[in-house]
Structure 1
Amino acid sequence: MQKPRTLAAALAVSALVLLSACGTEQGAAPGSGAETPDLPVQGSHWTIAAVTLDGVRSVAPPGARLEIAENGRAQGNTGCNHFGAAVAVNGDTLTVSPEEVTEIGCPADRERFERALLKALTGKLDGALKDKALTLTSADGRSGVELAAETGAPLVGTAWTVDALLTGDTAGSLPAGSEGKAKLTFGKEGRLTGSLGCNRVTAPAKITDRTITLGAIATTRMMCTGPQMELETQLYDALDGPLTYRVDHRTLTVTDADGQGFTAQAG
């Protein structure tokens, strides 16, 4: 009576060995459908270099950038407006679903670039990562976005160009004709220097982990055009009193106790 049990056990062991061997062969077989690793783009920051739409390539304006967060969200700047999107990474394919964009008025050339960018940066895109460059291309190859890896910027020592005015959580456009005029630098010697849009400005600046406290603000007294003077007045008011700041990679946000303030881009 022992032989049947021994034979059954032997058959069971043989079956397990056979199944194990089959499984090993299947996993090792070429063309077995092994998944392509996801492109390591989450948590990355990029300068938008150019966009191609329907075969027409346009160089990006200064300030155009894209950040892909760890949580499947992306945000960026078209060179005029801020935008947000959902991003799903599957192997070397990125599926981008734009969700919001601010409504700052743009000069005509930046508006054209913005429309092309938002259209090209939509849907399933083939990603190619090489050195410090990322290219996202449509399936037909006629549209795509060229990106270059972007390094972060410190608050101190960076030239910041004001690109939007803030009222609470709302970002507003700069007065038409004043874009790129206001530039501020917080120096290592503890002073704010730069331009508010027309006049030069300087002030003592005490910087802690999250706050900026300015001393007496001194400016030159040049006469400015309407848009530049309007911007200068708003920035002068926003710099009054203790300020809270935040640096997100290359974007600086500064607000006062009432939520008035501005955003600025490095460089």
Structure 2
Amino acid sequence: MREQRMAVSVLALLTLAACGTDPGSGAGSGDSGDGSGTVRNEASVTGVHWTVSSLTVGGRTTPAPAAAHVSIDSAGKATGNLGCNRFTADVSVEGDHVTVGPGTTTEMGCEKDVQQFEKALGAAFSGKLKAAVAGSGDERTLTLTTAQGDSIALTSEPPAPLTGTAWKVTGLTSAGLAASLPAGTEDKAHLTFGKDGSVEGSLGCNSFHAKAAVAGSTITFGPLSSTRKMCPGPRMKLERALMGVLEGRTTYTIAHRSLALTAQSGEGLHASAPAAGS
């Protein structure tokens, strides 16, 4: 679906309906705003992928859609997803307060209940918010509370590990330029790295396995062994492209649940991991 970017503040765009949330069965982890762990400095909330757990407006708590999340960087920018649409916003962190200023958002049509949630979340995630962090390490909760007493409950989520994760191939790259998968091959290719230095999965048509030696930010693939089925043209095209990536020495990066893999030829792939708990 075509997206349009609109340079407006998150508050101005989304204050249409902070109501419309359904009564919840109770607040989840970190949804009280009393702050058992007060934010001491920017490092408490920045550089973390925060999954939105729930939103409490007017005493009513609504579980968040799986896509809703927020990340705040040290440069004063928040990015994330309101439930359907992506957003960016200017942010400042001072002591135990987070102040959310103007930003941008996409404007996609979403399911009615998701639209209601993200309008309410956008209205809550604006202005000066009291922040409270509880827990430590990869198991932290963040509660953002508005001056009106509404609150956003968030949970930290660590990056997906390279090994043991079922990585679904979502795109290809060539010389740094991204390209979509051939039509009809979505959800066909995947790979999983084992702790024993192996990799296996599907190339889009045939299943495969190979050695995969991981060292730092590099993966060195051994010769691939695969089945020998013939499939429709687009799936064979994807298979040939992936075989060109999964050979020899490659570099990789992981950003939360996204994996980027690039061969020395400049050919590469993008893959994603399933959401935590799914």
Q: Select between 74-83 and 215-224 the one with higher mean Cα deviation.
A: 74-83
Distance in 1 (alpha carbons) for counterparts of 2:55 and 2:241: 34
Q: 1:116 aligns with which of 106, 115, 118?
A: 118
1:37-74 Cα deviation digits (max 9, x unpaired):
54621233333435679979453336x65443334344
2:212 paired with 1:205 = yes
Residue matched to 1:25: none
Q: After the TM superposition, which residues 63-212 of structure 1 pair with which residues of structure 2 at under 5 Å, given as runs? A: 65-76=69-80, 85-96=89-100, 116=118, 119=122, 122-124=125-127, 125-131=129-135, 132-140=140-148, 145-171=152-178, 182-197=189-204, 199-212=206-219
Of structures 1 and 2, the larger Rg is shown by 1
One of 255, 263, 266 as aligned partner of 1:258: 266
Give the TM-score taking structure 1 as reference length: 0.59
Distance change >3 Å, CA 255–CA 101, structure 1 → 2: farther
Q: Structure 2: give runs of 5+ residues left out of the alignment.
A: 1-38
- Cα distance in 1, alignment partners of residues 211 and 185 from structure 2: 25
Question: Is it true that 1:246 corresponds to 2:253 in the alignment?
Answer: yes
Partner of 2:45: 41
Deviation of the 1:148 alpha carbon: 1.1
Query: Residues 211-232 of structure 1: CA distance to partner in whole angstroms, max 9, x if unpaired?
Result: 2222222334567688866655
Deviation at 1:171, TM superposition (A): 4.8
Cα contact 1:42–1:72 (8 A) shared by 2: no
**What is the Cα-based RMSD across aligned positions, in Å?**
4.7
1:61 aligned to 2:66?
yes
Cα pair distance change 1:259/1:216, threshold 3 Å: closer
* Higher RCO, 1 vs 2 (CA within 8 Å, ≥6 residues apart): 2
Structure 1: segments with no counterpart, 5+ residues: 1-35
Q: Aligned partners of 1:176 and 1:53: how far apart in 2?
A: 43
CA contact (8 A) 1:85 1:100 kept: yes
Corresponding letter in the other structure for 2:197: G
Cα gap change, 1:78 to 1:163, in 2 (>3 Å): farther
Give the residue type in structure 1 aligned to 2:141.
A
Aligned counterparts of 1:242 and 1:215: Cα–Cα separation in 2: 9
Contact 1:51 1:120 in 2 (8 A): no
Q: How far does residue 249 in structure 1 lie from its aligned partner after superposition? A: 4.9
- Over 3 Å counting, the alpha-carbon distance change for 1:49 and 1:92 in structure 2 is same
* Contact persistence 2:185–2:238 (CA under 8 A): yes
| Identity over aligned pairs, percent | 41
Distance 1:185 1:81, change over 3 A: farther
